Amino acid sequence: MRPASQAETPARESGVGSPASVLARCGLYESPARGPSQNEGVIVLDAAQTKLYYDRGNHHEFVSLVKDLARPGEFTQSQTFDFEFTHVEKPYESYTGQNVKLRYFLRATVSRRLNDVVKEMDIVVHTLSTYPELNSSIKMEVGIEDCLHIEFEYNKSKYHLKDVIVGKIYFLLVRIKIKHMEIDIIKRETTGTGPNVYHENDTIAKYEIMDGAPVRGESIPIRLFLAGYELTPTMRDINKKFSVRYYLNLVLIDEEERRYFKQQEVVLWRKGDIVRKSMSHQAAIASQRFEGTSSHAEARTPSQPAENNSRQ
Partner 1 sequence: MAETVADTRRLLSKPQNLNDAYGPPSNFLEIDVGNPQTTGVGRARFTTYEIRVKTNLPIFKLKESTVRRRYSDFEWLRNELERESKVVVPPLPGKALLRQLPFRGDDGIFDDSFIEERKQGLEQFINKVAGHPLAQNERCLHMFLQDEVIDKNYTPSKIRHT
Residues at the site binding partner 1, with contacts judged by CB under 8 A: 144-148, 153, 155, 163-164, 166-168, 170, 173-177, 213, 215-219, 221, 223, 254-256, 258, 275
Q: Output phi, psi for 298, to 5 deg.
A: -80, 110
Report the residue number, 3 or 167, with the smaller CB distance to partner 1: 167
CB of 170 to partner 1, least distance (A): 6
Please check whether residue 191 is in contact with residue 51, taking contact to mean a CB–CB distance below 8 angstroms: no
Nearer to partner 1, 177 or 199 (CB): 177
Chain-centroid distance, C-alpha 228? 16
Closest CB to partner 1 among 145 and 230? Answer: 145
- In whole angstroms, the minimum distance from the beta carbon of 152 to partner 1 comes to 11
Which residues, including other chains, have CB under 8 Å from residue 181's CB and lie 6 or more apart? 169, 208, 209, 210, 214, 220, 250, 251, 252, 253
Q: Are 207 and 228 in contact (CB under 8 A)?
A: no
> Which of 197, 258, 215, 233 lies closest to 93, judged by CA?
233
Q: How far is CA 264 from CA 176, 183, 249, in A?
A: 23, 11, 6
To partner 1, the closest distance from the beta carbon of 262 in angstroms equals 15
**Shortest distance, position 258 Cβ to partner 1, whole Å:** 7
d(CA 156, CA 142): 18
In the bound state with partner 1, the residue whose beta carbon lies nearer, of 98 and 130, is 130
What is the smallest separation between the CB atom of 154 and partner 1, expressed in angstroms?
9
Comparing CB distances to partner 1, the nearer of 24 and 150 is: 150
